[in-house]
Amino acid sequence: MNGFEIDPVEYGQLIQKVDQLSTKVDKLESGMEELLALANKGRGGFWVGMMVVSSISAIVGYVTHLVAGK
């Protein structure tokens, strides 16, 4: 075979390593999905907070305008 032989033990070890790496990649993918979902929740909370702060500042500005009389 021209000096090219496949060692069954090394081939089995290689298959095991590939299986382990596939498992790790699957775990990383699920972790990334969880992080993305968490980031989307955080982004929504940020915009709600911006809306609340903007509303409060508008109310304070309006009251200040009424009190100052201008």
What global pTM score does this model have? 0.51
pLDDT at position 2: 61
CA 51 to chain centre: 24
Alpha helices in 1-70 (DSSP H): 8-68
pLDDT tens, residue by residue, 37-70? 888 887 888 888 899 999 999 999 999 999 987 6
Single-letter residue type at 68: A
Q: What average pLDDT does this structure show over 18-37?
A: 93
